[in-house]
């Protein structure tokens, strides 16, 4: 792999994104809102009491961490990838002596940096206003970081293979919209998983979506037992492996289709 | 009568444009259903845990959700598409095609407000009415007067929505990369729930700066029986003033465009 | 004295453009502080144009042509100076003014992409309040002139560039504007289509007596269509008059091509050149000489009497070469 070219690409992408920072700040602002709306609804619902053991400040803690995790694991790159395949711009990527994966990775890395420049201060400001309560034991911090990285990988590759369906179906971005909705409902955004009805809870635990956002947040802010924690990590890793496998299969088949279908 | 002729022509052309892409029909249907699903489950999950939310019962909150879908569909019918074709990414202001719009011997604001229609939004309209109707299954339906008052409040809410979107559109003249629909979408999310649930500082913003509450909460209050004539009057007055202000800002933006672009 | 259709008086336009150096550091600096530069797009330009005239607006890229055109169409406010068009001040954009002008741009479309041109025309007829009868008459005539009956019912996106341009022209002319602005109308078209469009523009001008202002980078457009050209360079008006006049001013010399009788010429070597003539090129028995305009008759007669000439032509230097010289060096 051509790592030098890859790094140059990452640097260039980041530079051009920093110049258009306003654009990306606005995007990040938009992504922050749905979890915040849910937070305000739960804070109002809790009033001065608690719901399933969570009071206002516990909700605030859960959701502010969730805003950060959601932003770190969300990859808008997958949306762009579909457009690029659809508009036939993939050719120019394939012509370069560089794995096309770097193209995707460069905007992914550039994006994370630029978004965080906005999201971290914004969350900080909200923390001052809402006075969240988060009990962090140092031992959980490491696990949180591990789960966070796995969550990013899972969400990224899950979206990646869905986006690659664009090789066959021009409106494959609809699949990404479905994924976004399911993430909203089943990954702990609309409500912490523990507050869902039993059937939704079961679905959330078995399907991959909780492991894209909610799981790392729960590690940091909810008292999970060791057993549940290990079970969660196992499911998360299993889904990540599935996503990687699917990405590999779909990319190979897609490139073959792309090269043959366009003559 | 001329404005109506013109609007009719715009509708006809838009309908033909829309019909050119039939696949989009299914994609839009999917998005509408997802939007409905997210809304209904969101309210459902909340009321699975509590009996009332700041005085709003489950059925009242569902009525509010219905109003949210309804007003969203009115936006999608023409306000949204028209303004986006002007100021969206890669659209008129971006490409410079706005020149042609300026050259037309018709009021520019009228032109940019009414020229694009998306009739698919009628599906959202039906979904919204469906949610409102179903919310009355378990509570007393509103009387005729309430419904009339609701319709007026809804009109005022739509006018507020239009005014805010027009102001955002005008800002695009200052920064062509401004994602005005994105910002509006984000703020509009707040209209899913009654304004009363938000912390005081946010409520202040949503009442005075970007009156999201006027779009859904106030109309919904007439459906759930807590509206008053005073509320309706002030709602209509505010929406009128806001549309006026938006129009002024839009004309300033036009002036800027014609003095600065190259 | 009659008032001219278009009067431009000491027109100037200054833009403020942001400046940024390349590199990461400059990008960071620009986060906090932006520097601007004043650019004079148009400087103190004056001219008048009468009814029914076709005028070519020429100049290199960035010369200020489009800015001038946009000010005349009311799309831009000038920084200073006065403009009246048919008695109106363009940038007030009165409906009565807008009804009298039309604009067609080679690189922009005013038609809806996904539907047939005919449907866009119906929308335009409503916008310009064209009476139904007049709409039909105008459309029929334009369609006949452009030979495009079969294009009206096909979606624009399925048309070729040339076909699309025809549809654009009709869109710009449906309301029979008194003044037509054509901005690079032949951009990217093949030679045949370019020719057809030129013929159409000339015919339209003759038939409807419309005043046409045209910008183009193709000299053929200007040569064939515009008895009068206005040359703008670096925002300044350098020439206003016939294209030929520009050539004469710019290139006060003629080219003389001579063919000598082969056998005789080569044996005798090169003849003594007449005074004032300069040898540009010699290829076997073909010669190209250059001399000043005034000296041309003398040089020619000298050549004819002194040499075994089999063929001789006197011509102006090609207009492209003259324009190239102006664009690079300006007018001395």
pLDDT of the residue at B138: 77
Map tokens 């009387």 to a residue.
Answer: B143
pLDDT tens-place values along chain C, 332 residues long: 567 899 999 999 998 777 766 666 666 666 566 677 888 889 999 999 999 999 999 988 888 888 899 999 998 889 999 999 999 999 988 999 999 999 999 888 888 888 899 999 999 998 899 999 999 999 999 999 999 999 999 989 889 999 999 999 999 999 999 999 999 999 888 999 999 999 999 999 999 999 999 998 888 899 899 999 999 988 999 899 998 888 777 777 888 888 887 665 555 555 667 777 888 888 777 888 888 888 888 888 888 887 888 888 888 877 777 788 878 877 65
Among C108, C154, C178, the residue to mutate for chain B (most B Cβ within 10 A): C108
The residue with greater pLDDT, A98 or C107, is: C107
Chain A positions touching C30 (Cβ under 8 A) are 19
Q: What is the pLDDT of residues B69-127, one digit of tens each?
A: 999 999 999 999 999 988 877 788 878 889 899 999 999 999 999 999 999 899 999 99
* CB contact at 8 A, C327 and C267: no
Question: In chain A, pLDDT over 70 holds for what percent of residues?
Answer: 94
| C197-C199-C205-C207 Cα dihedral, nearest 10 degrees | -120
Sheet holding C309-315, edge to edge: C277-283, C286-292, C253-260, C309-315
- Report, as an integer, the average pLDDT of B21-32: 83
Enumerate the H helices of C174-295 as residue ranges.
191-208, 219-225, 243-250, 262-268
pLDDT of the residue at A169: 82
Q: What is the C-alpha to C-alpha distance for residues B155 and B160, in angstroms, rounded to an integer?
A: 9
* CB contact at 8 A, C5 and C49: yes
Give the pLDDT band of residue A220 (cuts 50, 70, 90): very high
Provide the terminal-to-terminal Cα distance of chain A, rounded to the nearest Å.
Answer: 27
- Report, as an integer, the average pLDDT of B27-46: 92
Which tokens in the block code for residue A156? 């990224």
User: C129 vs B21: CB contact, 8 Å cut-off?
Assistant: no
Measured over the CA atoms of residue B79, residue B84, residue B64 and residue B120, the dihedral's sign is: positive
Q: Does A29 touch chain B (CB under 8 A)?
A: yes
Q: A 31-60 residues with CB below 8 A of B?
A: 32-34, 37-38, 40-45, 51-52
Which chains have at least 3 CB atom pairs separated by less than 8 Å from chain B? Answer: A, C
**Quick one: which of B253, B27, B225 has its CA closest to A178?**
B27
Q: Give the side-chain half-sphere CA count within 13 A for C213.
A: 27
Residues 6+ apart with CB under 8 A from C37: C16, C17, C18, C19
Q: What is the C-alpha to C-alpha distance for residues B34 and B44, in angstroms, rounded to an integer?
A: 15
Q: What DSSP assignment string belongs to A136-150?
A: --HHHHHHHHHHHHH
pLDDT of the residue at A13: 73
pLDDT of the residue at A229: 93
Residue length of chain B: 262
Select, from the ranges A142-151, A162-171, B176-185, the one with the highest average predicted confidence (pLDDT): A142-151
Q: Is B67 left (phi over 0), alpha (psi -120 to 50) or beta?
A: alpha
- Report, as an integer, the average pLDDT of A164-177: 84
Q: Does A79 touch chain B (CB under 8 A)?
A: no
Q: What is the C-alpha to C-alpha distance for residues B35 and C123, in angstroms, rounded to an integer?
A: 34
- Report, as an integer, the average pLDDT of A15-35: 82
**3-class state of residue C79 by DSSP:** coil
- Report, as an integer, the average pLDDT of A228-244: 96
Answer yes or no: is pLDDT of A113 > 90. no
Range A133-141 contact pairs with CB under 8 angstroms and sequence separation of 24 or more = A133/A55, A133/A57, A133/A58, A133/A60, A133/A61, A134/A61, A134/A65, A134/A220, A134/A221, A135/A221, A136/A220, A140/A219, A140/A220, A141/A220
Of B24, B41, B175, the CB nearest to A185: B41
Q: What is the pLDDT of residues A184-201, one digit of tens each?
A: 999 999 999 999 999 999
What Rg value do the Cα atoms of chain B yield, rounded?
19
pLDDT of the residue at C101: 94
* For A45, nearest residue in chain B (alpha carbons): B53
Of B37, B50, B196, the CB nearest to A181: B37
User: B16 vs C109: CB contact, 8 Å cut-off?
Assistant: no
The residue with greater pLDDT, C60 or A22, is: C60
Q: B 28-57 residues with CB below 8 A of A?
A: 30-31, 34, 37-38, 41-42, 45-46, 48-50, 53-54
Q: Does A20 touch chain B (CB under 8 A)?
A: yes
Q: What is the C-alpha to C-alpha distance for residues C26 and A19, in angstroms, rounded to an integer?
A: 10
Quickly count: other Cβ atoms within 10 Å of residue C257's Cβ: 15
Rounded to a whole number, what is the distance in Å from the CA of A239 to chain B's nearest CA?
A: 24
pLDDT of the residue at B262: 43
Among A29, A36, A37, A87, the residue to mutate for chain B (most B Cβ within 10 A): A37
Of B5, B20, B262, the CB nearest to C41: B262
pLDDT of the residue at C182: 94
């Amino acid at each position: 792999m051509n790592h030098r070219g890859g790094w140059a690409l990452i640097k260039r992408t980041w530079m051009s994104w920093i110049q258009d920072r306003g654009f990306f700040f606005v995007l990040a602002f938009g992504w922050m809102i749905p979890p915040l709306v849910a937070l305000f609804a739960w804070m109002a619902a809790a009033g001065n009491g608690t719901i399933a053991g969570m009071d206002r400040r516990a909700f605030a803690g859960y959701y502010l961490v969730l805003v950060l995790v959601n932003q770190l694991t969300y990859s808008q790159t997958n949306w762009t990838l579909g457009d690029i395949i659809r508009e036939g711009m993939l050719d120019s990527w394939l012509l370069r002596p560089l794995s096309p994966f770097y193209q995707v990775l460069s905007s992914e890395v550039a994006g994370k940096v630029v978004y965080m420049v906005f999201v971290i201060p914004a969350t900080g400001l909200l923390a001052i206003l809402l006075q969240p309560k988060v009990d962090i034991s140092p031992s959980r911090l490491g696990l949180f970081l591990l789960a966070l990285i796995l969550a990013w990988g899972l969400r990224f590759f899950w979206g990646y293979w869905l986006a690659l369906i664009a090789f066959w179906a021009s409106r494959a971005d609809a699949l990404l919209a479905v994924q976004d909705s399911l993430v909203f409902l089943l990954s702990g955004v609309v409500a912490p998983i523990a507050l869902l009805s039993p059937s939704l809870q079961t679905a959330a635990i078995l399907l991959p979506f909780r492991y894209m956002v909610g799981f790392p947040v729960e590690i940091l802010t909810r008292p999970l037992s060791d057993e549940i924690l290990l079970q969660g990590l196992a499911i998360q890793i299993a889904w990540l492996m599935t996503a990687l496998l699917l990405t590999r299969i779909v990319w190979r088949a897609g490139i073959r289709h792309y090269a043959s279908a366009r003559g | 009568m001329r404005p109506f002729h013109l609007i009719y022509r715009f509708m006809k052309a838009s309908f033909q444009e829309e019909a050119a892409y039939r696949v989009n029909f299914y994609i839009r249907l999917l998005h509408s259903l997802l939007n409905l699903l997210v809304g209904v489950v969101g309210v459902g999950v909340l009321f699975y845990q509590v009996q009332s939310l700041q005085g709003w019962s489950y059925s009242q909150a569902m009525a509010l959700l219905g109003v949210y879908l309804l007003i969203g569909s009115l936006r999608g019918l023409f306000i949204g598409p028209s303004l986006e074709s002007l100021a969206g990414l890669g659209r008129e202001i971006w490409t410079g095609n706005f020149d042609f719009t300026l050259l037309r011997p018709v009021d520019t604001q009228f032109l940019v407000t009414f020229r694009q229609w998306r009739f698919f939004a009628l599906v959202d309209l039906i979904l919204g009415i469906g949610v409102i109707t179903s919310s009355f299954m378990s509570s007393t339906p509103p009387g005729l007067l309430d419904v009339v008052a609701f319709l007026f409040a809804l009109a005022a809410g739509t006018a507020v929505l239009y005014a805010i979107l027009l102001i955002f559109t005008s800002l695009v003249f200052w920064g062509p990369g401004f994602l005005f629909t994105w910002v509006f979408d984000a703020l509009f999310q707040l209209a899913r729930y009654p304004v009363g649930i938000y912390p005081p500082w946010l409520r202040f913003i949503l009442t005075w700066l970007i009156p999201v509450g006027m779009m859904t909460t106030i109309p919904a209050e007439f459906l759930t029986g807590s509206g008053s004539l005073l509320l309706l009057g002030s709602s209509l007055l505010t929406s009128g003033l806001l549309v006026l202000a938006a129009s002024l800002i839009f004309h300033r933006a036009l002036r800027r465009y014609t003095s600065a672009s190259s | 004295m009659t008032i001219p259709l278009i009067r431009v008086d000491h027109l100037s336009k200054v833009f403020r453009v942001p400046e940024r150096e390349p590199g990461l550091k400059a990008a960071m600096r620009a986060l906090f502080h932006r520097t601007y530069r004043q650019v004079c797009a148009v400087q103190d330009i004056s001219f008048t144009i009468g009814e029914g005239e076709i005028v070519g607006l020429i100049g290199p890229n960035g010369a200020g042509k489009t800015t001038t055109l946009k000010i005349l169409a009311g799309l831009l406010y000038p920084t200073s100076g006065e403009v009246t068009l048919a008695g109106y001040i363009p940038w007030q954009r009165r409906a009565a003014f807008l009804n009298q002008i039309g604009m067609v741009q080679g690189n922009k479309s005013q038609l809806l992409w996904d539907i047939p041109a005919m449907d866009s025309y119906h929308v335009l007829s409503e916008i310009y309040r064209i009476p139904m009868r007049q709409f039909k008459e105008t459309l029929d005539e334009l369609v006949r002139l452009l030979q495009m009956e079969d294009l009206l019912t096909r979606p624009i996106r399925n048309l070729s560039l040339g076909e699309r341009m025809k549809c654009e022209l009709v869109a710009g002319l449906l309301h029979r504007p008194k003044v037509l602005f054509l901005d690079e109308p032949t951009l990217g078209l093949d030679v045949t289509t370019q020719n057809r469009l030129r013929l159409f523009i000339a015919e339209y001008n003759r038939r409807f007596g419309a005043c046409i202002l045209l910008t183009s980078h193709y000299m053929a457009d200007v040569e064939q269509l515009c008895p009068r050209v206005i040359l703008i360079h670096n925002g300044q008006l350098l020439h206003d008059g016939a294209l030929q006049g520009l050539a004469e001013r710019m290139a006060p010399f003629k080219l003389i091509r001579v063919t000598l009788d082969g056998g005789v010429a080569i044996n005798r070597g090169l003849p003594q050149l007449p005074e004032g003539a300069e040898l540009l090129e010699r290829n076997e028995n073909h010669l190209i000489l250059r001399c000043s305009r005034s000296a041309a008759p003398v040089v020619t007669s000298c050549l004819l009497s002194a040499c075994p000439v089999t063929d001789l032509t006197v011509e102006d230097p090609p207009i492209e070469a003259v324009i190239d010289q102006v664009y690079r060096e300006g007018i001395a």
